Chains A and B, each alone.
Chain A
Amino acid sequence: MSTLTELEEACPSRVRQGRGLDSIDGVTPGLVASPLGTGEVAAVMRVASSAGLSVVARGAGTKLDWGNPPASADLMVDLSRMSRVIEHEAGDLVARVEAGTSLAQLTEVLGSKGQRFPVDEVVAGSTVGGVVSTGLSGPLRYMYGAVRDLVLGITVVRADGVVAHAGSKVVKNVAGYDLAKLFTGSYGTLGIVTELALKLKPVPVARSFVVAAFPSPRDLTPFLSALLSCQAAPTAIEIERTAPSLPVQMSVLIEGRPRSVELRAAEVATLLGGGEPFVTPPPGWGQLPGPVTLKLTAMLSAVPSLVEQASSIALQLGLPARVTGSAGTGVLFMGLPDRVPAVVLAALVADLRAVCDGLGGHAVVLRAAAALKSQLDPWGPVPGIDLMRRIKESFDPDRRLAPGRFIGGI
């Protein structure tokens, strides 16, 4: 029996040839299967395993060009049909969803009961599975933690087609290894995430944004430190510098009960010397700069310095870099035009890595055209890489899952 026939049996009438539109960063998958449910994913993966197929998973396909292009993609497992909110028990503040559920759909379902999954839709159209697999958080991470802090339980299909669960659907659980954390941000290299149990939060009744501008990153320092130690308990502290020599804008989100939000927003406005608070977010709030996107991190006290140094490196290279991100957590993003020459980008990344390294952080190229990434290592060096390789070897000994896409060529 041919592999195609076997796949068709595993995933009836939802297997087809790959097309240009399915291409992952320039690599067109041979076949595309769109299974319905964890059981079908497992059946598909068993066929892929016996046929030795390389496999890349896709949700909405919004971040497939992140990391390195896969070395090969014989089969794409498309999870877009797996988009059910399986369970939402409001009294437990927990929801279970299929990985292909879009953040937008989830927000709507949860919102009807006054709750939310507190992870921003940083890239429009993202699925829960995609956000978990890339570990992508936005402004809300300052208050609620990163994606990894909000995943309670996980169902995955391993490279060999075995279905495994870890965690549970309760908020407190220390039974067994926390594989949900291992899979969060693993870019599909350890298995295919099919279902997730998520920790929810209530939607706050009121919110307010305080915006203030500072001539240079250095001017930010005392205000940032005052903000971190004030009692206004902001939900998010974001900064933005639209071009290397322009002022830096800081936007602070305050959420809670109406009266308290009013008082706290006023406190922050006074502290920052900002004007009247806004009810709606400032333009570009929580969106990634691009089209070429870098992630730059530094310890909290070094955020102004990172903005300053990153701007001046970009300026020297003549790049109109835009820097945004969370000043409250030290996770920033840099956006560049896609016409940046590959050698210039490589030089920029090398310089930024040296800077971030000195400030307790890292520089990663999240998104860039394959031709640009071929001249550099998008991930850069990281301690613990040997352990990471051993983990990959243990979970996917034949290197068939998104081969080469992740850090260190994993």
Chain B
Amino acid sequence: MKTFRTGRRAHKAGPKTRAGEAIDLLAPIVGRDAIICDPVELATYECDGLTHFRVRPALAVLVGSSHDVEAVVGTCARLALPFVARGAGTGLSGGAVPDSEGVLLVTSRMRAVLSVQANNQRAVVEPGVTNLEVSKAALPHGLFYAPDPSSQQVCSIGGNVAENSGGAHCLKYGFTTNHVTELEVVTPDGATVKLGGMVGETPGYDLVGAFVGSEGTLGVATKVTVRLLRLPAAVQTVLAAFSDTDSAGRAVSAIIAAGLVPAAIEMMDALAISAAEKAVHCGYPKGAGAVLIVELDGPLAEVEESLLDVNHHCLEQGAFEMRLAVDDADRARIWRGRKSAFAAMGHLSSSYIVQDGVVPRTALPQVLRDIAKLSEETGIRVANVFHAGDGNLHPLVLFDERVAGEEARAEQLSAQILDLCIAHGGSITGEHGVGLDKLTAMSKMFSEDDLATMQLLKAAFDPHRICNPGKAVPTPRLCGEPPRPRRGTQPLQEQGLAELF
């Protein structure tokens, strides 16, 4: 992957004084050991899951409580220092990339499950708790937390709130925003505010709805109340093999149009399957040009009958093999190929770009054909692994950085895929977020007026623009910039007028 470093210029006289001042102010509150300012130690925090954006923060604070967060943010507000919150650092859009002059606020120590209230179907957790820990805490009560991003073993709830994370099962259950009812947040002026409540509906503006998915640009969540759902009575998982993605795509449309609501419908194409076979030997049907994984859950009778219909629609659209998971181990085997797909790309290519775009479900076959055409024209291979039920594509654009110009062509193809999504009325990101990575694409999907209107919300929360500045929604000042301004130092950065965006 391409690597780019900035932030080496962080420790200059002016900023350093402010950062130094912040350390002096914060040490008595959070403890000196919670503050990291050694450049070597700080290297850990230079990037999130999207490793080619790297910025070293002036300092990082490992906050342990709401009180710590309040102190850090309040101090930043007083010193006009930018701050960025970071959970587990698994984000894929550069949303947690630090500000070189600012403070990185790391929530990984805030890992308490504060309560599981089975009779209210709620759990209250600190932001550093991992997604899977919430479901684990709920399990003894027969409950679970529905959003299940692929990184659920490591990703944090605070990060899920910031990114409005989904997962394979959001087709039926929705996203983080549909499962958070209350938040305690520290706003960029350093005040702790409660948003929403135990009940899903509270009077006034839907501040929880505005906050979830705002990519950490409106404040820092310090306490999260989530809905827990009853574990389904029955789960059935079926693997359907097709000769090509066209017929698999038509099967998806047929299932949706027939009124079936599976918990998940996932698709992999031939290239993705071959990578998964090499990596984890998942044993998918030989000769498959595409596979669908369809999972149904709910009341037993409902699931049984729906399963017959799913089989029918798949066969009608040309599925040549259907495999039903007979038990949980079998189900895990079916999912293993899908879940290993991203990592498995290493078996096919030295480098790859993970793209994330959304199209209307009915446009899937057409868009997949268009992507194949682009791939043919450029000679750049594209593997497709995605949440087909939602129309959420994850094309993996493969390249070899040792071949001159290939990386640039891969990047271009990756951007063209987003253009296709926009042309079909879709979105430039279904779950990875905008972060730093897709600011330019935002200007293609939304008009300047749209973006300026979004900035009205930002201005209400963060008038001084110190909270994760320059992420998620391009600022009018720089939103007309050419697509790749991060190749070298920006003129504005050079003059010390602006940091990365």
Contacts and interface: CB of A to CB of B under 8 A. Distances in A.
Interface of A: 89-94, 114-115, 135, 137, 141, 145-146, 148-149, 156, 158, 162-166, 168-179, 181-182, 184-186, 190, 201-205, 225, 228-229, 231-233, 256-257, 259-260, 263-264, 297-301, 329-331, 360-362, 364, 379-380, 382-388, 390-391, 393-395, 406-408
12 contacts: A89-B362, A170-B360, A172-B358, A172-B387, A174-B175, A174-B427, A174-B433, A175-B442, A184-B209, A301-B119, A391-B205, A391-B460
A299 B201 CA distance: 11
B212 interface: yes
A397 B55 CA distance: 37
Contacts of A379: 203-204
B164 interface: yes
Nearest to B303: A260
Interface string B434-451: 100010011001110111
Contacts of A386: 191, 193
Given A179-B457, A256-B302, A360 B198 contact: yes
B262 to A, nearest CB: 12
A364 B170 contact: no
Contacts of A383: 193-195
Best-surrounded residue of A172, A181, A256, A407 (most CB of chain B within 10 A) = A172
Contact of A182 (B170, B174, B210): B210
B391 interface: yes
B247 interface: no
Interface stretch (B7-15, B26-34, B251-259, B371-379): B251-259
Given A182-B457, A184-B209, A387-B461, A168 B204 contact: no
Contacts of A263: 299, 301
B259 A114 contact: yes
Given A203-B259, A264-B301, A177 B204 contact: no
Interface in B410-438: 425-434, 438
Given A145-B178, A329-B201, 16 more contacts: A92-B360, A92-B362, A141-B200, A146-B201, A148-B206, A156-B453, A175-B428, A177-B457, A185-B206, A201-B261, A256-B299, A301-B119, A330-B199, A382-B203, A382-B204, A384-B194
Nearest 8 A-B pairs (CB), nearest first?
Answer: A181-B209, A202-B259, A260-B301, A164-B453, A360-B198, A231-B233, A173-B427, A301-B119
B147 to A, nearest CB: 12
B361 A92 contact: yes
Best-surrounded residue of A141, A148, A384 (most CB of chain B within 10 A) = A384
A171 B391 contact: yes
B305 A260 contact: yes
A172 B166 contact: yes
Interface string B156-169: 00000001101000
A384 B195 contact: yes
B199 A329 contact: yes
B457 A407 contact: no
Contacts of B6: none
B445 to A, nearest CB: 6
B457 to A, nearest CB: 5
B425 A169 contact: yes
A156 to B, nearest CB: 8
Interface size class of B (residues with CB under 8 A): 35 or more
A91 B203 contact: no
A264 B300 CA distance: 10
Interface string B96-123: 0000000000000000000001011110
B184 to A, nearest CB: 10
Interface string B334-349: 0000000000000000
Nearest to B424: A170
Contacts of B198: 299, 330, 360-361
B132 interface: no
A135 B201 contact: yes
Best-surrounded residue of B205, B210, B429, B438 (most CB of chain A within 10 A) = B205
Given A201-B261, A257-B305, A165 B210 contact: no
B142 interface: yes
Interface string B378-413: 000000000100111000000000000000000000
Given A145-B174, A162-B449, A186-B205, A394 B454 contact: no
A158 B453 contact: yes
Contacts of B431: 172, 174
Contacts of A182: 205-206, 209-210, 457
A148 B358 CA distance: 21
A387 to B, nearest CB: 6
Given A169-B425, A176-B450, A384 B305 contact: no
A177 B473 contact: yes
B304 to A, nearest CB: 8
A94 B450 contact: no
B43 interface: no
A364 to B, nearest CB: 5
Contact of B122 (A299, A364, A395): A299
A162 B301 contact: no
Contact of B256 (A93, A146, A179): A93
Nearest to B445: A175
A144 to B, nearest CB: 10
Contacts of B441: 175
Best-surrounded residue of A164, A231, A263, A387 (most CB of chain B within 10 A) = A387
Interface in B449-501: 449-454, 456-461, 472-473
Contacts of A361: 197-199
A393 B391 CA distance: 37
A408 B205 CA distance: 11
A48 B117 CA distance: 50
Contacts of A259: 301, 305
A407 B204 contact: yes
Best-surrounded residue of B260, B301, B434 (most CB of chain A within 10 A) = B301
A166 B443 CA distance: 13
Nearest to A167: B427
B214 A177 contact: yes
Contacts of B461: 387, 390
Nearest to A90: B257
Contacts of B274: none
A169 B360 contact: yes
Given A92-B361, A176-B473, A387-B187, A165 B204 contact: no
Contact of B205 (A137, A329, A388): A388
Given A158-B453, A329-B199, A382-B204, A174 B257 contact: no
A407 B428 CA distance: 35
A307 to B, nearest CB: 15
Best-surrounded residue of A202, A204, A361, A383 (most CB of chain B within 10 A) = A383
A300 B120 contact: yes
B450 A166 contact: yes
A385 B194 CA distance: 10
A174 B261 contact: no
A384 B196 CA distance: 8
A394 to B, nearest CB: 4
Contact of B427 (A172, A233, A408): A172
